[in-house]
Amino acid sequence: MARKKSAPVARPKPMLDAWFENAGITQEEEITDTLEKNYLPYAMSVIISRALPEIDGFKPAHRKLLYTMYKMGLLNGQRTKSANVVGQTMRLNPHGDQAIYETMVRLTRANECLLHPYVDSKGNFGKHYSRDMAFAASRYTEVKLAPICEALFNEIDKETVDFMPNYDNTMTEPCLLPATFPSILVNANMGIAVSMASNICPFNLAELCETCIALIKNPEHDILSTLKAPDFPGGGLLIYDETELRKVYDTGRGSLKLRAKWNYDASAGCIEVTEIPYTTTLEAIKDKITELSKAGKLKEVTYARDEIDVNGFRLAIDIKRNTDPEKLMQKLFKMTPLQDSFGCNFNILIGNTPKVMGIREILTEWTAFRHECVKRRVAFDLRKKKDRLHLLSGLKKILLDLDKAIAIIRDASTEAHVIENLIQSFALDAIQAEYVAEIKLRHLNREYISSRLADVDKLKEEISDMEDILANPARIQKIIIKELRDTARKYGQPRKTMFCYISESDELPAEEETPDYPVHFFLSKEGYFKKITPLSLRMSGEQKLKEGDCIIQQSEGTNRTELLFFTNKAQVYKIRASAFDDGKASLLGEYIPVKLGFDEDEKIIGLIPTLDYAGKLLFIFENGKISKIPLSAYMTKTNRKKLTAAFSDKSPVMGMLYLSDETDIFLRSDGNKAVLINTELIAEKSTRSSQGIQVMTIRLKQQIISAEIPDPERLSQLEKYRVQNIPAIGKSARNLEEANQMPLV
């Protein structure tokens, strides 16, 4: 049977007209309004609820996970499957099981990421020092809380911290954990929020507790005298720099240098690296060594391998015979992550406000937080003891006539009458009467009641003592100090990161890596470059060049000279002379655009060889402007091969001149005008891309065609073109011979 097609639903015509009328119309809105409504709430959520740690040392994800494990009884119980913990944590953290499990992995003892792990683990959780060692799935691993978590949770049920509803309002979770030690500085913590980040290095627990105690006693205490330096779980060596450490301690920002720990096995002919910087991995180090070996920069190394087993790891570096291991390690420290930096940024949430603080301020904030926790705990215990005393006071009243109390309970017709009759007969309140009525019949005797009442005097003393604690902040400070000492004694451990004291003279200079000898440099117009030793140059004939090519620059230097190739696209390429093989005059040389990877249509306009970056550069532009830039502006701390914005690109560059000192320069335009000026008239610019200042005024569609530094004999002939002020129009140069010479670099 054929199915009958249903008729289309008819829409009212006015509705259709309105829909078509508004279709495709976009509503204009200010960008500030869009950001305020859409982006700012997201940014605030990331900062407050995800990325930055709070004064208790935890991000929300960490706190939710640990609190769930505490509620599951994993502080003193047996281990359970990680999958069970992940599933239970999703009641507080709705971001997915994989995100929760990855958070757990970082907190485990097996991962070795934390100085004091919070999770006792069994199974494969990967390793912090390995990029490629993946952790096993949550169904294979087991976890429980580590013993140190007792210092986080032992008083959480005494109203020491506030609680808030979870995301679906079915249960509550703590806003903070009442840690009895400054956990914010005990374990490393990194977070990236929106427009801000946090990177906190770990410190030794015993040293940190000692420092906190000293600050409580004396706010002006010298922190560096007790808190020696950060202590990383991976060990290694910290290059001790007191100035930088004090900067980190005072401002919360700075950079610390970490170095690998190693030894030399002479029998095997290899260097054994046993501890590496916290900020890198074995694979990153090995890959860098392999890369440098293939590039010919580590000729002393034959092979590098990582040897990881159940006892830890070892990175073995096989070296050639007769290699000095000390010098090689200095070279490796400079060229590989075997020496790395930890950038400190102590950005912490204080009252939902991100704040970068130094050690003193962080410990002061933690002490204030801990002071409030202790105060709330004592107040909670005080209320409980007062309630207990109140109940015992009622029990004391019935001791005077036990038979009457028993008769009231026995003769009452209903339970409600029991409470009413006890209140009336013994002058009790409802709470006391309820307590008396709930006593078992077997306990309604003088011996039992007398034994209970023996605690009254002790309770009164304890209540009086607690009231004195709440009224005396100094006593609360003593409690905090005692807890810090107990924590340090119970969980403290020896330092893992030791100190390395070095000076600049101890580090291998870069020049020692390269043999030094005199050479001559030749650059052709087409971009061919030759490095020739003096001996080879004396024994050779004419320079071999391509047809139509010519040598435009010749200079002297050494094999350690740095070569700066400037191009017409306002870029400079930096390379050591040692990167070129020694050549001969009979060879074409190396083609620079290919060697340095020039962009399309990029050409060389000049070469500057230097060892110390002394002197200045003059960039002469076709529009009559000249920019004077110190050569030191092109010096970089890192080994960068290419710098953009080497000079201004607002006008085509006609040429460039190198100045070792102020001198005279001669300029000529294609309008047959010429000027002679001293470079002192040209102000030096600190910015490489500066457009310079107008030196020669030229007419529209005209340009500078030559610039030179005249020799003394020629200078006397050009004196009539000298000007004392700039910009200058210049004088006619129609009859000037040799005026069309190209500028010399």
Q: Is 267 helix (H, G, I), strand (E, B) or coil?
A: coil
pLDDT at 309 over 80: no
Taking residues 412-421, report their average pLDDT: 82
Per the model's pLDDT, the better-predicted residue between 224 and 706 turns out to be: 224
Question: Region 323-345: what's the mean pLDDT?
Answer: 93
How much is the average pLDDT of 220-246?
A: 95
pLDDT tens per residue, range 274-298: 999 999 999 999 999 999 988 888 8
Give the confidence band of 122 by pLDDT, cuts at 50, 70, 90. very high
Q: Which one, of 479, 215, 467, 461, lies nearest residue 372 by Cα? A: 479
**What pLDDT score was predicted for residue 3?**
45
pLDDT of residue 363: 97
Chain mean position to CA 431:
58
CA-based radius of gyration for the chain: 40
CA distance 608 to 591: 17
Q: Does residue 675 contact residue 723 with C-beta atoms inside 8 Å? A: yes
- The CA distance from 602 to 427, in Å, is 104
| pLDDT reading at 651 higher than 80 | yes
User: What is the spatial distance between Cα 187 and Cα 111, in angstroms, rounded to a whole number?
Assistant: 13
139 pLDDT higher than 50: yes
Is residue 742 pLDDT above 60, yes or no? no
Q: Of 615, 83, 67, 158, which is closest to residue 375 (Cα–Cα)?
A: 158
Read off the pLDDT band of 249 (50, 70, 90): very high
What's the rounded Cα separation, in Å, for the pair 647 and 628?
10
Query: Cα angle vertex 417, ends 416, 418, to 5°?
Result: 90
Tell me how far apart the alpha carbons of residues 354 and 357 are, in angstroms, rounded to a whole number. Answer: 10
pLDDT, tens digit, 9 for 90 and up, residues 202-217: 999 999 999 999 999 9
What is the rounded CA–CA span in Å between residue 354 and residue 256?
23
Residues 59-68, buried b or exposed e (16+ Cβ, 10 A)? bbbbbbbbbb
Please state, as a whole number, how many other Cβ atoms lie within 10 Å of the Cβ of residue 451: 10
Residue-wise pLDDT for 40-70, tens only, equals 888 888 888 889 999 999 999 999 999 999 9
Confidence of residue 232 (pLDDT cuts 50, 70, 90): very high
Judged against a pLDDT cut of 80, whether residue 18 lies above it is answered with: no
CATH number of 510-732: 3.40.50.620, 3.30.9.10, 1.10.340.30, 2.120.10.90? 2.120.10.90
Where would I find the beta strands (DSSP E) of 252-381?
253-259, 261-265, 270-275, 301-309, 312-319, 339-345, 347-350, 353-356
- Domain boundaries along the sequence of the chain: 58-178, 261-337, 510-732
Q: Give the least confident one: 27-31, 148-152, 617-621.
A: 27-31
435 pLDDT more than 60: yes
Q: Is residue 10 pLDDT above 90, yes or no?
A: no
Q: For 572-628, how does the pLDDT look when each residue is reduced to its tens digit (9 = 90+)?
A: 999 989 888 888 888 889 999 998 888 888 999 889 999 889 999 999 999 999 999
Q: Tell me, what's the pLDDT at 741? A: 44
Q: Which residues pair with 708 in a beta bridge?
A: 666
The CATH number assigned to the domain with range 261-337 reads 3.30.1360.40
**Alpha-carbon 539 to chain mean position:** 57
Q: Could you give the angle at the alpha carbon of 483 between the alpha carbons of 479 and 485, nearest 5°?
A: 115
How sure is the predictor about 506, in pLDDT bands with cuts at 50, 70 and 90?
Answer: low
Per-residue pLDDT at 504: 47
Single out the residue of 740, 734, 736, 735 nearest to residue 708, CA to CA.
740
- Of 255-264, 406-415, 721-730, the one with minimum mean pLDDT is 406-415
Active-site residues, by number, are: 140
CATH number assigned to the domain with residue range 58-178, chosen from the 4 options 1.10.1060.10, 1.20.140.10, 3.20.20.70, 3.90.199.10: 3.90.199.10
User: How large a percentage of the chain has pLDDT more than 90?
Assistant: 53
Mean pLDDT of 124-129: 94
